[in-house]
Amino acid sequence: MATVGQRGMSSPRELTRMGDRISFIYLERCILHREDNAITAEDAEGVTHIPAATIGTLLLGPGTRVTHQAMSLLGDSGAGVVWVGEQGVRFYSGGRSLNRSSSLVEAQATKWANRRTRLEVAREMYRMRFPNENPDSLTRHELLGREGRRVKECYRKEAERAGVPWNGRIYVPGDFNAGDPVNQAVTAAAQCMYGIAQTTVAALGCAPGLGFIHSGHELAFVLDIADLYKTEIAIPIAFDVAAESPDDVGSRTRRAIRDHINKRRLLRRCVNDIKHLVLTEAASDNLDDEDIDRVTLQSDHGTEVEAGRNYADDDIYEVPW
């Protein structure tokens, strides 16, 4: 088997599109290594081969060890890696972007840098979550108030539907067991959604810290995207799992989330939602996610010129003293 140093990096055409990947795979108490272009997971029952380019997010649970070669392959494949455990998500790590173009991150930064367009995106996020409401005239504070009331109402309705007692959201950072089973299920569902959102944001080359609703954190935009699916997917599944049994809530919630989003192809939807939020319609139609792999230089009047050449003797670019 060739060493890492002998391998070339994957080209954009060799990588599986983000929307076509498996949403996430959860592994625990195993050793992860690399064999050709597959990740191997070895435990007491044997070795399992997982094609790296098909993974959206890899969730590593307690007792997991991973080699440098495995991480190199995951990074080259654009897969996200999230360390999780009984006490919740410990660390987020995104692989290399599948999108070689900077179009998305530039569009995101442009909308984020302007207060008016930043608010417009925040309103659109609210509209996507609650399509029966019109947030066009709402201020930021009014958006936060309405979102809070809708989430509380969602918790109440899901508790009534599933027949699960609900005494409010209880979450203590670093202590997964602080809440009752339904709160543990909600936390586990949130972990999965954050991992999926983080991986998609990283795969598209967006800036995770430039949030339109959340702010002041390196994953602000990730939290924005994950919240798009909170009341539709995460909370209902968490209550269903808690209603079935109070045992092993965390792992059962992860499996239920995985099965649901694979069936509904949430990764593809997540990719399209991000494009919808940060790109104009014309720019979205012209964007090629995989094939653009070029570098240009910024010149005057918003133009871009070819990189890899010296412009010192080009009269067009001389600046008069």
pLDDT at 288 over 60: no
147 is in an annotated binding site: yes
Give per-residue pLDDT as tens, 219-235: 999 999 999 999 999 99
Please check the confidence at residue 2 and state whether its pLDDT lies above 80: no
The mean per-residue pLDDT over the stretch 100-127 comes to 94
Q: What is the pLDDT of residues 232-262, one digit of tens each?
A: 999 999 999 999 999 999 889 988 998 898 7
Element (H, E) at 46: strand 46-51
Phi-psi region of 62 (alpha: psi -120 to 50; beta: other; left: phi over 0): beta
Give CA–CA dist 305/296, Å, rounded: 6
* pLDDT attached to residue 9: 47
Instruction: Confirm or deny that 227 is annotated as ligand binding.
Output: yes
Share the mean pLDDT of the chain.
Answer: 82
Q: What is the pLDDT of residue 95?
A: 57
CA distance to 6, 69, 106, 317, per residue, from 3 (Å):
5, 8, 36, 46
Q: How far apart are CA 54 and CA 78, in angstroms?
A: 10
Residue 319 has pLDDT above 80, yes or no: no
pLDDT in tens, 77-93: 777 787 765 434 444 55
Position 52 scores a pLDDT of 82
- The residues that bridge with 49 in the sheet, in sequence order, are 40
What's the CA gap between 44 and 66, in Å, rounded? 16
Going by pLDDT thresholds of 50, 70 and 90, the confidence category of residue 321 is very low
Residue 290 pLDDT > 70, yes or no?
no
Look at residue 306 and give its three-state secondary structure: strand
Per-residue confidence at 15, pLDDT binned at 50, 70, 90? very low
Domains of the chain (ranges plus CATH)?
Answer: 18-96 (3.100.10.20), 102-278 (1.20.120.920)
198 burial via Cβ count (<10 Å: 0-12, 13-18, 19+) = buried
Instruction: pLDDT band for 320, please (50, 70, 90 cuts).
Output: very low
| Mean pLDDT value of segment 68-76 | 88
pLDDT for 109 beyond 70: yes
pLDDT in tens, 136-163: 999 999 999 999 999 999 999 999 999 9
Helix (H) / strand (E) element for 41: namely: strand 38-43
Report yes or no: 95 and 78 within 8 Å, Cβ to Cβ. Answer: yes
CB 42 within 8 A of CB 33: yes
**pLDDT of amino acid 5:** 40
Lowest mean pLDDT among 16-20, 150-154, 173-177: 16-20
Residue 268 one-letter amino acid: R
pLDDT reported for residue 93:
57
Other beta carbons within 10 Å of 305: 14
Has residue 97 got a pLDDT over 70?
no
Amino acid making up residue 285: D
Q: Which of 93, 102, 100 is nearest to 74 (CA)?
A: 93
Structure tokens at 318: 């001389």
Query: Which residues partner with 82 through β-bridges?
Result: 59, 92
Angle at 84 between CA 182 and CA 216, to 5 degrees: 90
177, 255 Cβ separation under 8 angstroms: no
Which pLDDT does position 17 carry in this prediction? 60
- What is this structure's pTM? 0.75
pLDDT of residue 94: 56
Determine the pLDDT at residue 1.
39
The total number of residues written for the chain in this structure: 321
Q: How much of the chain, in percent, has pLDDT values that exceed 70?
A: 80
Looking at per-residue pLDDT, the higher value among 50 and 22 belongs to 50
Q: For residue 93, how many C-alpha atoms fall within 13 Å in the half-sphere facing its CB?
A: 14
